[in-house]
Chain A
Amino acid sequence: MNLGEIFRSVLLNLQANKFRVFLTSLGIIIGSFTIIMVVGIGKGSEKAVADQYKRLSVETIMIRKARISSGGGGRQLTNEQAAQMKDLANVKAVGFTLGAQAGISYGSATENTSVLGVSESYQQMINLELASGNYLRDKDGEKRNKVALLGDNIAQLLFGEHLADVIGKTVTIKGRKYEVKGILKRVGDGVLGSDNGGGLPAGFGGGGSIDDSVFIPYEVAEKYIAGSRSSPMITVQAENINAVAPAIEEISEFIENKTGDSSSYSIMDAGSRLSTAQATAKTMSALLIAVATIVLVVGGIGIMNVLFVSVKERTREIGILKSIGAKRKDILREFLLESMLISIAGGMIGSGLSLVTLPLLKYLNLQAIPSTEGILLGLIFSVLTGTFFGYYPALKASKLKPIHALNYE
């Protein structure tokens, strides 16, 4: 029988059992949907990681007190001591940050956002650019001046579109009044159109975008914003990219000398932190793909089940076809094609659903990127599942002896 005819007869069968076909393909629909979502979310989180580290140059080294200190040894490194790291041969600059989520208000407008205490040097390290006003100075910190730099988004949320005369106005952060010292340039809508550009390095008080952040002097944040248990992150900039490794060694030795135990601090350069974060994102993706695969396998078993029922129901028909000359391969192809069609249709419906759903994920604060890769993967997996699980019932059907099939009631 030529393939066109087999195809026609399969379609006829599917049509006659629409509801069952739908139920059968449900497993495949959900499976391919999951795969595409997972790939989208995986890509999204990889991109988010990349964005987060985008503003940190590879010369950056981050030092922070390890959450679980090993053996409790070692004294805390004071900020004065840490600042001395600037004198190390391979270190160009040392900056401090300390952050927390806090409420900020102006008039009746109130926003909750990440408030970061930063040292003067840190502003240069992450290339903060002013739209208007002045940078924070170390003097501001020493004098505990309550001044703030506002990210573009947060400034707009508080003051509206017109930011011209905002400098010098007073905002309230965590119940205390701060003078607006500067407004930062918008980083989000860069020429490249990156939608989450200008992210801040992970490990910060809030993470997130510079546009949504408020910067205040480090010492002020230490006093009024951060809790007593939070420890600062020390950011060190190496002289150049080749100085990163020697700088890490120097820093480790320095901390060892000052505190007696360097292992209670984690020292990591931006490059390896980035790759660790990416690896984490990848592991996550792999895990989710495993879950999606399980869903598909379950869907495949569903197909196999229904196909077995279908073979049973049509045993007589198979007998008739064989008695008038159908060969094994005719029967095999018919049932295999049926299962493949079900799975292809399921895969396509699943893809369609995922394309509709992926953009909605941003409301859950998940970044997901639809990709042809994901859709291809989803479709390929569906077809493979359909073929794999359809093969056995189809083979069984094709091997039915005509005499037994004909006499089947």
Chain B
Amino acid sequence: MNTDAIRMNGIKKSYGAGATRVNVLNEVSLKVKKGEFVAVLGPSGSGKTTLMNIIGLIDTHDEGEYILDGEDLESKDENEYSEIRNRKIGFVFQKFNLITKYTALYNVALPLLLRGADRRQAEESAAKMLEKVGLADRKHYKPVELSGGQQQRVAIARALVGEANIILADEPTGALDTKTGQEIVEILKTLNKNGKTIVLITHDTNIAKQAGRIIHVRDGQVYEH
């Protein structure tokens, strides 16, 4: 019986080689239970974004063991990583990372389309998700026609549409004003109440405090107290 969404043991990551080699993560071990809301708090350069990228499989670790949702990620290839990202993880980035030439609706539908769903189905689900984040009337807008807060809500809808259980949010409030940022945090809290595992990366203590648990990252290592 496995109740861990994320389990990491002795994860190491460094960039560069030789004299310029920088150890970003040094023997990081970490457990996040299913349904937890965890804030990863640390100053910039602490390695928290690298940690999140490794959790989200958009970067690879050099050493250590990583088990995501009960699946050992050792010996998986890039395509399998894509598959796992698509089905198990929803990303929310600081810079929203929406594709600007597509409408909000199509952006949200993309994870389903990438799975091979047909467009009508995908857009139907996408419309429902946009409704959930309060953007039902904006679905045909392109990202540039939306405010920052609205764009971030589109990004959240995109993270949810594939029914991923783990939401990784990397400084989701970083590009927003305090009030709008708080709105986004509220949405994340609601999602957590509905059973999603949330990993929120931030350097803002006020936001971190709202999570169920805080993990500190400093100099490539994690601390908890």
Contacts and interface: CB of A to CB of B under 8 A. Distances in A.
Interface stretch (B36-44, B115-123, B184-192): B115-123
Given A325-B86, A325-B111, A327-B79, A1 B58 contact: no
A324 B158 contact: yes
Nearest to A324: B111
Contact of B91 (A12, A324, A401): A324
Contacts of A329: 79
27 contacts: A2-B113, A2-B118, A4-B119, A316-B97, A320-B98, A321-B99, A321-B114, A322-B58, A322-B82, A323-B56, A323-B58, A323-B85, A323-B91, A324-B91, A324-B110, A324-B114, A324-B158, A324-B162, A325-B85, A327-B78, A327-B82, A328-B78, A329-B79, A401-B59, A403-B53, A403-B58, A406-B93
Given A12-B102, A325-B115, A406-B97, 6 more contacts: A1-B116, A319-B97, A320-B98, A321-B99, A326-B114, A330-B114
Contact of A2 (B58, B87, B99, B116): B116
A317 interface: yes
B110 A321 contact: yes
A68 interface: no
Contacts of A402: 58-59
A192 interface: no
Contacts of A326: 82, 114
Contacts of B116: 1-2
B56 to A, nearest CB: 7
A5 interface: yes
B54 to A, nearest CB: 9
B83 interface: yes
The 10 tightest CB contacts between A and B, nearest first, are: A325-B86, A402-B58, A403-B59, A327-B82, A325-B114, A324-B111, A320-B97, A325-B85, A403-B58, A327-B79
B76 interface: no
A324 B85 contact: yes
Interface in A373-409: 401-403, 406
Interface residues of A, number: 25
A316 B53 CA distance: 15
Interface in B55-100: 56, 58-59, 78-79, 82-83, 85-87, 91, 93, 97-99
A191 interface: no
B21 interface: no
B59 A324 contact: no
Contacts of B99: 317, 320-321
A316 B102 CA distance: 14
A317 B97 CA distance: 8
A325 B97 contact: no
B101 interface: yes
A21 to B, nearest CB: 15
A127 B158 CA distance: 85
A408 to B, nearest CB: 12
Nearest to A322: B82
B130 to A, nearest CB: 16
Interface in A333-365: none
A406 to B, nearest CB: 7
A347 B178 CA distance: 56
A329 B83 CA distance: 12
A16 B102 CA distance: 12
A43 B100 CA distance: 51
Interface string A1-20: 11011000000110010000
Q: Please indicate which of the listed interface residues B56, B99, B116, B162 has the most CB atoms of chain A within 10 Å of its own CB.
A: B99
Contact of A323 (B79, B97, B102, B119): B97
A400 to B, nearest CB: 11
Nearest to B100: A317
Q: Please indicate which of the listed interface residues B97, B98, B99, B114 has the most CB atoms of chain A within 10 Å of its own CB.
A: B114
Contacts of B162: 324-325
B47 to A, nearest CB: 14
Contacts of A328: 78-79, 82
B207 to A, nearest CB: 22
